[in-house]
């Protein structure tokens, strides 16, 4: 396919300057697009209506032989005129368009659109993202300038344009269109004004980041943004059965055998055919054979007789019921007597395949392997299990006041505790951790730490420096290295938080910037980082919540989510009750240590009266 950069606009909203040539992070905007587009396509072209030479030199600088095509239609007729020109000139069967003002074009744009075009046998595949309107409701947003189409649609486009149509998607009714949903709406952002450009350049203002459209976000919105942005790691490894404990299954496990392999007895007793039971009196059956567990049955029991059978013993053909030996009315050396109505026909017989049927999924992809699963996999005879690779997570603390264990604590300094809580939480989550220490509030040191972390880990977690503090340089450095949103969450504790993607030396990593206060950092980890990492691990985060009566009245302002540390217990009346642990200050780690749960007071909730039911998340399973 040919990838064409649409740079032919008049740029009316940019003071009539040529958008594609605007300097952005060290190069013209169009060069960023070219750099992302070129590896995805066979040929690249630039559609521009002025500054021909400047666009040609962008191509040269990028070592690309991309031609610059001017619209066949004169007079800045809009992107559709560029599209028409591209379809006429391109030498491939397919044409992909991207605008010159979208420096974050996704790397998989071409491949995903192509896949949909083929799969749906469509004429055109267009990117869509989920977006939120002013009131926060989600809607599908179509991006008609990010589209892959067949060259054969040209006559339809010509006809639409001849009739005066100029809307990028105005002609979709005449062709077969398929939509492809991309998770990362931020990748489709475009720069429309010089202010956009400046903001985007800095990326330090909330509005300039793709992940952050509002200055303040609710906890639920932030969780959704993180969930939608992150995709699971793809690498899979086969591990020995025991090593699979707590790992994430990378595929469904299809049972290769029936478990159990035969109908068998659930009890020690006597196997017989229920057809032999007398309706109105005791039934005495001769014991014709004994069946032990672990031997093929092979015996034939004639009508009116039975088999002595042990638990797990294979049911002889034709027999359907097992009388537990303790229910027998009488037992002699070679017979057993069954009282009327003492046993239900079919009782105590386990069916072949009733636990796991051959060819059916025994466990599903994405499940975290539990002790029960290990046993189940063993019962299938499986020695190896496919699991997703472990995540590598790097973390460091920021702040001049932080000292590490072993260092002297000068006046005004504190020991760094966040690295230890993070170590504990990440280790329990099954991640490989890279502890990068405490980093000074110094731009060069912070940049170095972020770059190193980014090249070595799937995710980077920092603590401190994301609030509005004067010595907090980390925000601007994070913004320089990538596409990061700085959030003011409507929650307590843990208001400030950063989330996004950073890149260095061609490696990308997810970034979570946590607040510095120890409790806030932990809460932000549990409710934002953990679900994100679990999605990356290929599974879904869940936590164990219960409802309990609040022992005391709680003050709570509507309009923010509060996470209070609590102790849950059974009250003398037998009901579950929860009380809040002492001070709820976000720096008081002892409140976390003493607590066994967190009380979640949702966004809209106001004050809670004593005795009212509240939602409680148990620490067990969370940490
Ligand atoms: P910051 O978010 O950097 O403004 O930090 C907020 C508060 O948390 C300050 O009182 C810091 O001293 C404290 N803090 C930051 N990082 C850590 C850490 N790693 N361990 C303990 N306290 C910290
Ligand atoms: Mg700090």
pLDDT in tens, 550-582: 999 999 989 999 999 999 999 999 999 999 997
The answer on 521 and 462 residing in a single domain is yes
The answer on 590 and 449 residing in a single domain is no
Residue 184, domain CATH: 3.90.550.10
Q: Which residues contact 275 (CB under 8 A, 6 or more apart)?
A: 303
Q: Which atom of ligand 1 is nearest to the CA of 419?
A: 19
The answer on 374 and 248 residing in a single domain is yes
Mean pLDDT of 377-394: 97
Q: How does residue 620 score in pLDDT terms, banded at 50, 70 and 90?
A: confident
Q: In 10 A of CB 260, how many CB atoms?
A: 17
In whole angstroms, give the CA distance from residue 91 to residue 357.
54
Distance of CA 598 from the midpoint of ligand 2 (Å): 26
In whole angstroms, give the CA distance from residue 271 to residue 290.
10
Distance of CA 478 from the midpoint of ligand 1 (Å): 18
Q: Which residues contact 364 (CB under 8 A, 6 or more apart)?
A: 249, 252, 253
Look at 131-140, 213-222, 403-412, 578-587 and tell me which has the smallest mean pLDDT.
131-140
Look at 323-332, 393-402, 536-545 and tell me which has the smallest mean pLDDT.
536-545
Q: Contacts from 126-131 at CB under 8 Å and sequence distance 24+?
A: 126/169, 126/177, 126/178, 126/179, 126/180, 127/179, 127/180, 127/182, 127/188, 128/179, 128/180, 128/181, 128/182, 129/181, 129/182, 129/183, 129/184, 129/185, 129/188, 130/181, 130/185, 130/228, 131/185
- DSSP code string of 467-509: SS-TT--HHHHHHHHEEEEEEEEEEES--EEEEEEEEETTEEE
> Which residues in 269-359 belong to E strands, given as ranges?
269-272, 283-291, 305-309, 321-324, 330-331, 335-338, 349-350
Distance of CA 468 from the midpoint of ligand 2 (Å): 10
Residue 36 is assigned to a structural domain of this protein:
yes
What pLDDT is attached to residue 136? 58
The answer on 345 and 420 residing in a single domain is no
Domain count, the chain: 5
Residue 210 is assigned to a structural domain of this protein:
no
Question: Token digits for 209?
Answer: 């980041």
Q: How does residue 543 score in pLDDT terms, banded at 50, 70 and 90?
A: confident
In the chain, the N- to C-terminal Cα span, in Å, equals 49
In whole angstroms, give the CA distance from residue 530 to residue 11.
43
Of the candidates 101, 93, 97, 91, the residue with the CA atom closest to the CA atom of residue 31: 101
The answer on 196 and 126 residing in a single domain is yes
Distance of CA 518 from the midpoint of ligand 1 (Å): 7
Give residue-wise pLDDT tens across range 308-362: 999 999 999 999 999 999 999 999 999 999 999 999 999 999 999 999 999 999 9
| Closest C-alpha to ligand 1, atom 6 | 516
Alpha carbon of residue 415 to chain centroid? 33
Residue 584 is assigned to a structural domain of this protein:
yes
What pLDDT is attached to residue 23? 82
More confident residue, 616 or 198: 616
Q: Using an 8 Å Cβ cutoff, are 362 and 240 in contact?
A: no
Q: 452 exposed, middle or buried (CB, 10 Å; 0-12, 13-18, 19+)?
A: middle
Mean pLDDT of 12-37: 85
pLDDT over threshold 70, residue 434 = yes
CB-based burial, 123-139: b 16+ in 10 Å, e otherwise: bbbbbbbeebeeeeeee
pLDDT over threshold 60, residue 208 = no
In whole angstroms, give the CA distance from residue 27 to residue 21.
8
Q: In 10 A of CB 241, how many CB atoms?
A: 17
Q: Which residues pair with 97 in a beta bridge?
A: 4, 147
In whole angstroms, give the CA distance from residue 68 to residue 54.
10
In whole angstroms, give the CA distance from residue 437 to residue 448.
13
Look at 98-112, 182-196, 250-264, 531-545 and tell me which has the smallest mean pLDDT.
182-196
Question: Token digits for 296?
Answer: 């093929």
Using only C-alpha atoms, the chain has a radius of gyration, in whole angstroms, of: 33
Mean pLDDT of 41-68: 92
The answer on 247 and 110 residing in a single domain is no
* CA atoms in the 13 A half-sphere facing the CB of 163: 9
Question: Token digits for 482?
Answer: 């990538």
The answer on 503 and 369 residing in a single domain is no
CB-based burial, 542-571: b 16+ in 10 Å, e otherwise: ebeeeebbbbeebebeeebbbbbbbebeee
What pLDDT is attached to residue 582? 77
In whole angstroms, give the CA distance from residue 570 to residue 449.
47
Q: In 10 A of CB 108, how many CB atoms?
A: 15
Q: How does residue 408 score in pLDDT terms, banded at 50, 70 and 90?
A: very high
Q: Domain of 363?
A: 240-258+355-387
Residue 294, domain CATH: 2.170.190.11
Q: Which helix (H) or strand (E) holds 444?
A: helix 443-456
Q: What percent of the chain has pLDDT over 90?
A: 74
pLDDT over threshold 50, residue 370 = yes
In whole angstroms, give the CA distance from residue 317 to residue 332.
24
Give residue-wise pLDDT tens across range 94-117: 999 999 999 889 989 999 999 999
Residue 623 is assigned to a structural domain of this protein:
no
Q: How does residue 213 score in pLDDT terms, banded at 50, 70 and 90?
A: very low
What pLDDT is attached to residue 207? 32
Q: SS3 for 540?
A: coil
CB-based burial, 364-388: b 16+ in 10 Å, e otherwise: ebbbbbeeebbebbeebebeebbbb
In whole angstroms, give the CA distance from residue 313 to residue 290.
9
What pLDDT is attached to residue 212? 41
The answer on 180 and 143 residing in a single domain is yes
Residue 74 is assigned to a structural domain of this protein:
yes
In whole angstroms, give the CA distance from residue 376 to residue 578.
37
Of the candidates 349, 329, 462, 339, the residue with the CA atom closest to the CA atom of residue 396: 462
- For the Cβ of 493 lying below 6 angstroms from any atom of ligand 1, the answer is no
Q: How does residue 549 score in pLDDT terms, banded at 50, 70 and 90?
A: very high
What pLDDT is attached to residue 201? 64
Q: How does residue 453 score in pLDDT terms, banded at 50, 70 and 90?
A: very high
Residue 376 is assigned to a structural domain of this protein:
yes
In whole angstroms, give the CA distance from residue 353 to residue 100.
60
Instruction: For Cα atoms 62, 64, 70, give the angle at the middle one, nearest 5 degrees.
Output: 105
Residue 528, domain CATH: 3.40.980.10
Question: Which mutation among 438, 465, 472, 517 tests ligand 1's pocket best, with the greatest number of atoms within 8 A of CB?
Answer: 517
- For the Cβ of 397 lying below 6 angstroms from any atom of ligand 1, the answer is yes
Residue 209 is assigned to a structural domain of this protein:
no
Domain boundary residue, one of 350, 372, 402: 350
Please count the residues of the chain. 623
pLDDT over threshold 90, residue 407 = yes
What pLDDT is attached to residue 18? 84
* CA atoms in the 13 A half-sphere facing the CB of 72: 11
In whole angstroms, give the CA distance from residue 115 to residue 75.
36
The answer on 282 and 220 residing in a single domain is no
Look at 173-177, 196-200, 378-382 and tell me which has the smallest mean pLDDT.
196-200
Q: Contacts from 57-61 at CB under 8 Å and sequence distance 24+?
A: 58/20, 58/21, 58/28, 58/30, 58/31, 58/34, 59/34, 61/31
What pLDDT is attached to residue 93? 96
Q: How does residue 484 score in pLDDT terms, banded at 50, 70 and 90?
A: confident
Distance of CA 473 from the midpoint of ligand 1 (Å): 14
Domain boundary residue, one of 332, 350, 368: 350
Residue 211 is assigned to a structural domain of this protein:
no
pLDDT over threshold 50, residue 205 = no
Give the dihedral of Cα atoms 263, 264, 266, 270; nearest 10 deg.
Answer: 120
Q: Which atom of ligand 1 is nearest to the CA of 466?
A: 2
Is 573 annotated in some ligand binding site? no
Q: Using an 8 Å Cβ cutoff, are 525 and 514 in contact?
A: yes
Average pLDDT, the chain: 91
Question: Token digits for 496?
Answer: 């400030």
Residue 611, domain CATH: 2.40.340.10
Q: 110 exposed, middle or buried (CB, 10 Å; 0-12, 13-18, 19+)?
A: buried
Residue 382, domain CATH: 3.90.105.10
More confident residue, 594 or 24: 594
The answer on 166 and 187 residing in a single domain is yes
Q: 592 exposed, middle or buried (CB, 10 Å; 0-12, 13-18, 19+)?
A: middle
The answer on 314 and 395 residing in a single domain is no
Question: Which mutation among 397, 516, 522, 587 tests ligand 1's pocket best, with the greatest number of atoms within 8 A of CB?
Answer: 516
- For the Cβ of 454 lying below 6 angstroms from any atom of ligand 1, the answer is no
- For the Cβ of 435 lying below 6 angstroms from any atom of ligand 1, the answer is no
CB-based burial, 474-504: b 16+ in 10 Å, e otherwise: bbebbbbbbbbbbbbbbbbbbbbbbbbbbeb
The answer on 151 and 17 residing in a single domain is yes
């Amino acid at each position: 396919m040919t990838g064409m950069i649409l740079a032919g606009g008049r740029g009316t909203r940019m003071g009539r300057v040529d958008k594609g040539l605007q300097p952005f992070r060290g190069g013209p905007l169009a060069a960023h697009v070219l750099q992302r587009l070129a590896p995805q396509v066979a040929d690249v072209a630039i559609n521009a209506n002025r500054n021909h030479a400047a666009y040609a030199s962008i191509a040269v600088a990028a070592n690309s032989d991309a031609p610059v095509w001017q619209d066949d239609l004169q007079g800045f007729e809009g992107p559709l005129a560029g599209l028409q020109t591209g379809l006429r000139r391109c030498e491939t069967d397919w044409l992909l368009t991207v605008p010159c003002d979208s420096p974050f074009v996704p790397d998989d744009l071409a491949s995903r659109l192509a896949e949909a075009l083929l799969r749906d046998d469509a004429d055109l595949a267009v990117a869509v993202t989920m977006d939120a309107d002013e009131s926060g409701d989600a809607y599908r947003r179509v991006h008609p300038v990010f589209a892959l189409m067949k060259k054969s649609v040209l006559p339809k486009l010509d006809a639409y344009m001849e009739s005066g149509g100029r809307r990028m998607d105005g002609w979709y009714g005449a062709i077969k269109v398929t939509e492809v949903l991309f998770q990362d709406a931020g990748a489709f952002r475009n720069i429309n004004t010089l202010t956009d450009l400046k903001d985007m350049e800095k990326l330090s203002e909330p509005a300039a980041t793709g992940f952050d459209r509002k200055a303040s976000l609710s906890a639920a919105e932030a969780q959704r943004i993180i969930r939608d942005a992150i995709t699971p790691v793809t690498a899979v490894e086969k591990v020995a059965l025991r090593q699979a404990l707590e790992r994430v299954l990378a595929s469904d496990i299809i049972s290769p055998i029936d478990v159990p392999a035969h109908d068998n007895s659930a009890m020690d007793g006597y196997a017989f055919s229920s057809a032999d039971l007398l309706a109105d009196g005791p039934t005495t059956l001769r014991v014709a054979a004994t069946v032990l567990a672990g031997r093929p049955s092979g015996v034939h029991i004639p009508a009116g007789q039975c088999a002595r059978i042990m638990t797990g013993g294979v049911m002889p053909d034709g027999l359907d019921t097992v009388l537990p030996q303790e229910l027998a009315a009488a037992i002699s050396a070679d017979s057993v007597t069954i009282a009327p109505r003492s046993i239900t026909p079919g009782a105590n017989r386990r069916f072949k395949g009733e636990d796991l049927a051959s060819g059916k999924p025994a466990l599903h992809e994405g499940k975290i392997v539990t002790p029960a699963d290990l046993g189940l996999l063993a019962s299938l005879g499986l020695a190896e299990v496919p699991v997703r690779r472990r995540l590598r997570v790097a973390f460091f603390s920021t702040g001049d006041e932080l000292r590490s264990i072993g260092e002297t604590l000068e006046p005004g300094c504190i020991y760094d505790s966040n690295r230890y809580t993070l170590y504990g939480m990440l280790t329990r989550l099954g991640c490989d951790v890279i502890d990068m220490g405490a980093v000074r509030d110094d731009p060069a040191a912070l940049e170095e730490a972020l770059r190193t972390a980014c090249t070595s880990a799937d995710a980077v977690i920092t603590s401190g420096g994301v609030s509005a503090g004067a010595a907090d340089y980390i925000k601007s450095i994070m913004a320089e290295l990538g596409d990061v949103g700085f959030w003011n969450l409507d929650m307590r504790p843990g208001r400030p938080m950063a989330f996004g993607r950073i890149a260095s030396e061609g490696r990308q990593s997810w970034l979570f910037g946590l607040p510095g206060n120890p409790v806030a950092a932990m809460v932000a980890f549990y409710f934002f980082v953990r679900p994100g990492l679990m999605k990356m691990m290929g599974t879904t985060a869940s936590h164990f919540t219960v409802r309990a009566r609040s022992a005391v009245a709680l003050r709570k302002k509507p309009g923010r989510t509060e996470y209070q540390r609590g102790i849950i217990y059974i009250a003398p009346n037998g009901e579950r009750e929860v009380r809040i642990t002492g001070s709820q200050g976000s720096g008081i780690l002892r409140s976390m240590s003493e607590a066994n749960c967190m009380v979640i007071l949702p966004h809209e909730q106001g004050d809670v009266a004593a005795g009212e039911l509240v939602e409680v998340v148990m620490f067990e399973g969370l940490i």
